């Protein structure tokens, strides 16, 4: 019965109110029903989920992945631990091993293919590895589609089943290709010995492929097929080990079934390198008499060195070269110019004793020092110096000995001085009298002293020392 205030409304209005009330009641009942039927999800930890009997098992992933196209890098390593094309399937649950072994099934679009049941490895009772029966290495046909399926029900440890059916397919080798070469690219090959390079193909080949296999630049080669027809052995004798060589299988090369190589294949090699190295030395403030030493692990043909050697700018008087026991010593015949930038270059005209060229041009840049004093004994401001010992003064260049005597002075005077030069770039000075005790001497080398080529110092050099009592 309607409330009194509703009974006084017009009939049409009362009808609409009754309808709205009915609809409201229906909506409330529907909400209550939905709440009563709400899904009670199973909440378990990840560790418990793999053994929870309430959860159904399923396939999570495979290798190779479903619907993928090779080649697969995982099958390329030459490691003896992976001699076969291992495949893998990952389940969401801990599975019954016997059930998995009997349920997994392989098929091929081109041949009869089966799983080697003896090869199935239980990784962690959720993932399983296996290989195709009789496949000792990845030996898939070109364009072959492999399908992995369950031929019968597979159970987890709780007895829950996965129904039979196809898991997925993949194509390991869509095209004819060179799988790898051995030794690998960039390997150094030794000259004057017969070596061989192995080309490994992903399909069987015959002699029709041999004309497509070439070495550049041309060298003496012999080509042979392996017993299983999956490899070509290229026996090589290098003529010029300092060059780069390219082993090429040209595009269009056929396999035994007529499949053609699409992009070609190239592997680069080089001969034993003949290189020079600079024995460790400074390249700044270089003395004008400096000897540079170049080294090599190979014996040099010294008759080719002079023509291969270049120095810029030209050195007055030329250069002197001395070779002994693998070391090439080079220096200016007179001296380098002071405060000058030089570049030494040895080009590929240099050969070793076997006649092979320098594989990489050698270059050295250096800057010479100014002509002047580089040090003295005793050192500047030394104290307690012996009264009977002489002195030595060192220079950055060989000296014109005729200019030595008049360039040395001392305060107080030493008396009569005796000069000798044990090496071209330093001077021994011996005072004529015993030096005074506890006396400070100031020695000056003035700008009248000259290098062997006549270079002068830019300013005098002065040093002092104080004698002791003895």
Does residue 381 have a pLDDT over 90? Answer: yes
CA 219 vs CA 18, 101, 240: distances in Å? 104, 54, 9
**Intra-chain end-to-end CA distance of the chain, in Å:** 141
pLDDT score of 176 more than 60: yes
Sign of CA dihedral 278, 281, 287, 290: negative
Backbone φ and ψ for 447, nearest 5 degrees, come out as -80, 5
Q: Say what the pLDDT of residue 12 is.
A: 45
By DSSP bridging, strand 188-189 and strand 265-271 are parallel
State how far the Cα of 464 lies from the Cα of 444, in Å rounded to an integer. 9
CA–CA gap between residue 470 and residue 464 (Å, rounded):
18
Predicted local distance difference test score (pLDDT) of residue 40: 45
Extract the tokens encoding 428: 């021994």
Global pTM reads 0.53
Neighbours of 179 (CB within 10 A): 19
Summary mean pLDDT of the chain: 84
- Domains in the chain (CATH in brackets) are 56-170 (2.60.40.1220), 178-271 (2.60.40.1220), 277-367 (2.60.40.3710), 373-467 (2.60.40.1220)
Cα separations in angstroms, 265 against 28, 233, 268: 74, 15, 10
Q: For residues 18 and 247, which has the higher predicted lDDT (pLDDT)?
A: 247
219: Cβ contacts below 8 Å, ≥ 6 apart: 236, 237, 238, 239, 245
Query: What residues pair up with 108 in beta bridges, in sequence order?
Result: 146
Q: In the chain, how many H helices and how many E strands?
A: 5, 32
Distance CA 133, CA 123 (A): 19
The pairing of beta strand 244-249 with beta strand 265-271:
antiparallel
CB 393 within 8 A of CB 415: no
* Residue closest to 271 by CA, chosen among 298, 243, 296: 243
CB within 8 A of 123, min separation 6: which ones?
88, 129
Percent of the chain with pLDDT over 70: 82
Query: 336 pLDDT exceeds 80?
Result: yes
Label residue 45 by pLDDT band (50, 70, 90): low
Q: Answer yes or no: is pLDDT of 20 > 50.
A: no
pLDDT score, position 221: 84
Q: What is the mean pLDDT of residues 6-20?
A: 46
């Amino acid at each position: 019965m309607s409330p009194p205030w509703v009974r006084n409304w017009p009939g049409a209005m009362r009808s609409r109110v009754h309808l709205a009330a009915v609809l409201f009641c229906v909506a409330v009942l529907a909400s209550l029903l939905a709440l009563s039927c709400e899904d009670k999800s199973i909440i378990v930890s990840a560790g418990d989920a793999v053994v929870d009997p309430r959860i159904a098992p399923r396939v999570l992933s495979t290798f190779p992945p479903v619907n993928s196209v090779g080649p697969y890098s995982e099958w390329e390593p030459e490691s003896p631990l992976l001699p076969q094309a291992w495949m893998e399937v990952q389940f969401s649950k801990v599975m019954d091993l016997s059930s998995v072994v009997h349920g997994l099934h392989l098929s091929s679009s081109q041949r009869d293919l089966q799983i080697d049941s003896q090869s199935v490895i239980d990784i962690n009772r959720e993932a399983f590895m296996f290989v195709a029966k009789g496949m000792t290495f990845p030996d898939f046909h070109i364009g072959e589609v492999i399908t992995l399926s369950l031929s019968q029900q597979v159970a987890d440890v709780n007895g829950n089943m996965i129904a039979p059916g196809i898991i997925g397919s993949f194509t390991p080798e869509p095209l004819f290709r060179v799988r790898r070469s051995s030794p690998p690219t960039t390997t150094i090959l030794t000259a004057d010995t017969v070596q061989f390079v192995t080309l490994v193909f992903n399909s069987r080949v015959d002699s029709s492929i041999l004309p497509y296999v070439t070495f550049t630049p041309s060298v003496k080669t012999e080509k042979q097929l392996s017993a299983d027809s999956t490899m070509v052995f290229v026996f090589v004798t290098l003529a010029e080990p300092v060059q780069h060589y390219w082993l090429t299988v040209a595009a269009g090369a056929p396999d035994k079934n007529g499949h053609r190589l699409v992009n070609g294949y190239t592997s680069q090699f080089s001969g034993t390198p003949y290189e020079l190295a600079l024995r460790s030395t400074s390249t700044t403030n270089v003395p004008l008499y400096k000897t540079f030493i170049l080294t090599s692990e190979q014996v040099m043909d010294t008759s080719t060195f002079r023509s291969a050697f270049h120095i810029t700018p030209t050195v007055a008087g030329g250069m002197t070269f001395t070779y002994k026991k693998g070391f090439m010593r080079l220096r200016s015949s007179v001296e380098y110019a002071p405060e000058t930038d030089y570049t030494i270059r040895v080009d590929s005209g240099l050969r070793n004793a076997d006649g092979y060229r320098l594989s990489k041009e050698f270059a050295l840049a250096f800057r010479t020092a100014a002509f002047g004093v580089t040090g003295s004994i005793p050192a500047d401001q030394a104290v307690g110096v012996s009264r009977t010992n002489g002195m030595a003064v060192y220079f950055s260049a060989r000296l014109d000995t005729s200019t030595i005597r008049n360039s040395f002075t001392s305060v107080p005077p030493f008396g009569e001085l005796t000069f000798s030069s044990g090496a071209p770039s330093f001077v021994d000075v011996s005072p004529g009298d015993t030096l005074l005790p506890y006396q400070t001497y100031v020695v000056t080398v003035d700008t009248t002293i000259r290098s062997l080529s006549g270079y002068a110092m830019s300013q005098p050099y002065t040093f002092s020392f104080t004698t002791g009592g003895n």
